[in-house]
Amino acid sequence: MAPFPTPMNSYQKLWWEQARSDHKALAVVLRDGMAPCHALHYLQMATEKLAKAYLWRSGSPPPKSHAGFAKFLRLLGSTGKRHRQRVAKAFSFRRFADFQNWINAVIPIANELENLAPSLANDGPNPEYPWPHSRPHSAPVYHDFAVWATLASGRGRDLMRVIHIAVERFPEYADL
């Protein structure tokens, strides 16, 4: 049972459930050793939807842009004093300061993940479509994504682990 179960609105619940499903697909893709583009695709989608689930807490729609995960982390990193311990605990950190330090360390990876979305990839490497659009010469399935090497490192694995925790424990901090 979550220690701080909180209500979330119906919009948040829909976006959270979709993020959870995308994240489960990511686990299958990782376990099956499929081409990294597929893992990156699901990771990008899960994080984008998790961020949107959070941003829906106001009841107003967030921007349709694919950007949002880095913003989501920054928003949580600036949580007011009253709720800091709750956020730290939800994300598996003992102290809120440790959580803030962790965010600073992983924000560059979060930005790289966001920029994988085809609409943000400037007609270049992305995990979904061959590029460039007009005369494609590369396909995601053959591409060696630099961010994948980062995600497979200790810090990247830690980010993936915290994303898993963030998805599963969303109800604990959805209202903050």
Partner 1 sequence: MPATKFNRDAMAQWYAQEHLKTDPGIVSVHYLPHGAGERDIRLVEVNTLLGNRTDDALEPIDFGVDRGTDSEHRLLIVDVTPEQWDRITARKLSLPNGWSLDGAVPYPDE
The contact set with partner 1 (CB under 8 A) reads: 27, 30-34, 89, 92-95, 98-99, 101-102, 105, 152-155, 157-158, 160-162, 164-165
| Closer of 101 and 122 to partner 1 (Cβ) | 101
CB of residue 158 to partner 1, shortest distance in Å:
6
CB of residue 24 to partner 1, shortest distance in Å:
13
CB of residue 156 to partner 1, shortest distance in Å:
9
CA distance 88 to 68: 20
Q: Within 10 Å of residue 52's Cβ, how many Cβ atoms?
A: 25
> Of 18, 114, 29, which is closest to residue 70 (Cα–Cα)?
114
CA distance 92 to 64: 30
CA distance 29 to 140: 15
CB of residue 31 to partner 1, shortest distance in Å:
5
DSSP 66-90: S--HHHHHHHHHT--GGGHHHHHHH
Task: Evaluate whether 73 touches 110 at the Cβ level (below 8 Å).
Answer: yes
Backbone angles phi, psi at 99, to 5 degrees: -65, -40
> Of 98, 106, 112, 40, which is closest to residue 73 (Cα–Cα)?
106
CB of residue 144 to partner 1, shortest distance in Å:
15
